[in-house]
């Protein structure tokens, strides 16, 4: 049974005239221990999907479809059950580690929260676990650093702490939303390697959300490329990076090689028919404007079918 299976997910916000569909027809399957990359430029709906899985989207968001976590449909769970799944079964790390920690609370107290929420540790036991965890991360004098505040840690160390917190309870799935974007290059490589080793050791699946093809190439077994709220191509890392079939994937790879960059025009979310990439596609044909291409053999493009 796959760890995570998303079927026909749609996320929409009610608008003045038409609803704004930020993610449409999303099908993703992640098996145990597998790493999946969700690539695409800013605003393509990646983070909405992540927050949709966590059920932390704003209340006005409308979700349809199914999100199965180990055979349990997350979208039909009561809030209380969902709260028990967050942090224990699905963990998540964010782009800016510095903003993920409450500046008014000691780092130690915040790490120990994860033990208190789920493992029903006493405050003493969770403090001991926290100090042990901080020691494993290579933090000197963890008893002393327990009482330090977030601003007294470096960015790299904070992201290590966030990763360690996320994985402390051995979740089945880790969602990493741009985990290295805020870090400098040397630290980035180290942390990606550490993350990869830890995931492999614990057999935790990963959903990596990124626009950085480099770290996706390093971490992911399979890659899904998103544009305008739709997955346009899905395949193995090798296939996507070496033989991309969708014109958008090719454009994204070109952009990564330092060529021209383009931004999603927000109007694509209001297109009622046709390929989302049609307005900007270099290889568009008349059929692309009329009909939305279906996902076939891992690619959503008439030219590749």
Residue closer to another protein, measured from CB, 89 or 249 = 89
104 in contact with another protein (CB under 8 A) = yes
Contact in structure between 21 and 228 (CB atoms under 8 Å)? no
63 in contact with another protein (CB under 8 A) = no
Among 222, 213, 277, 291, which Cα is nearest to 248's?
277
Nearest approach, Cβ of 101 to another protein (angstroms)? Answer: 6
Nearest approach, Cβ of 93 to another protein (angstroms)? Answer: 8
77 in contact with another protein (CB under 8 A) = no
Residue closer to another protein, measured from CB, 84 or 270 = 84
Nearest approach, Cβ of 131 to another protein (angstroms)? Answer: 18
Residue closer to another protein, measured from CB, 36 or 161 = 161
Among 13, 77, 88, 292, indicate the residue that binds another protein (CB under 8 A): 88
Q: Looking only at residues 159 through 178 of this chain, which bind another protein when binding is defined by CB under 8 A?
A: 162, 165
Residue closer to another protein, measured from CB, 94 or 227 = 94
Task: Please report, to the nearest 10 degrees, the dihedral formed by the alpha carbons of residues 9, 276, 261, 285 taken in order.
Answer: 150
Nearest approach, Cβ of 119 to another protein (angstroms)? Answer: 10
Strand 205-210, strand 62-69: pairing? unpaired
Among 244, 247, 243, which Cα is nearest to 279's?
247
Contact in structure between 137 and 160 (CB atoms under 8 Å)? yes
CA distances, 123 to each of 88, 111, 129, 131, 162 (Å): 18, 12, 10, 12, 20
99 in contact with another protein (CB under 8 A) = yes
- 8-16, 64-72, 114-122, 214-222 -> range binding another protein (CB under 8 A): 114-122
Among 91, 39, 40, 94, which Cα is nearest to 69's?
91
120 in contact with another protein (CB under 8 A) = no
Helical ranges in 55-209 per DSSP H: 79-85, 97-100, 107-118, 123-136, 142-145, 155-167, 185-202
Q: Which residues bind another protein (CB under 8 A)?
A: 54, 56, 59, 83-88, 91-92, 94, 96, 99-105, 110, 113-114, 117-118, 162, 165
């Amino acid at each position: 049974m796959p760890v995570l299976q998303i079927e026909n997910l749609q996320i929409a916000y009610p608008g003045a005239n038409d609803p704004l569909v930020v993610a449409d027809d999303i099908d993703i399957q992640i098996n145990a221990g597998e790493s999946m990359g969700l690539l695409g430029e800013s605003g393509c709906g990646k983070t909405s999907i992540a927050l949709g899985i966590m059920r932390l989207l704003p209340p006005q968001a409308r979700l349809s479809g199914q999100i199965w976590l180990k055979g349990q449909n997350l979208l039909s769970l009561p809030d209380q059950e969902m709260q028990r799944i967050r942090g224990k079964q699905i963990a998540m790390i964010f782009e800016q580690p510095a903003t993920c920690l409450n500046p008014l609370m000691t780092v130690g107290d915040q790490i120990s929260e994860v033990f208190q929420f789920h493992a029903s540790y006493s405050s003493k036991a969770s403090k001991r676990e926290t100090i042990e965890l901080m020691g494993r991360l290579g933090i000197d004098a963890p008893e002393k650093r327990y009482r330090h505040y977030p601003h007294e840690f470096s960015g790299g160390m904070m992201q290590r702490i966030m990763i360690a917190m996320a994985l402390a309870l051995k979740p089945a799935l880790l969602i990493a939303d741009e985990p290295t974007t805020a870090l400098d290059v040397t630290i980035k490589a180290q942390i990606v390697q550490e993350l990869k080793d830890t995931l492999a050791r614990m057999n935790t699946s990963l959903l990596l959300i990124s626009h950085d093809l480099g770290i996706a190439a390093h971490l992911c077994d399979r890659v899904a490329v998103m544009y305008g709220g739709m997955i346009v191509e899905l395949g193995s890392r090798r296939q996507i990076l070496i033989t991309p079939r969708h014109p958008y994937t090719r454009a994204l790879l070109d952009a990564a090689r330092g060529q021209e960059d383009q931004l999603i025009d927000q109007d694509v979310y209001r297109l009622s028919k046709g390929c989302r990439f049609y307005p900007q596609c270099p290889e568009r044909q008349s059929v692309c404007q009329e009909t939305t291409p279906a996902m076939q053999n891992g690619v959503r493009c008439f030219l590749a079918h």
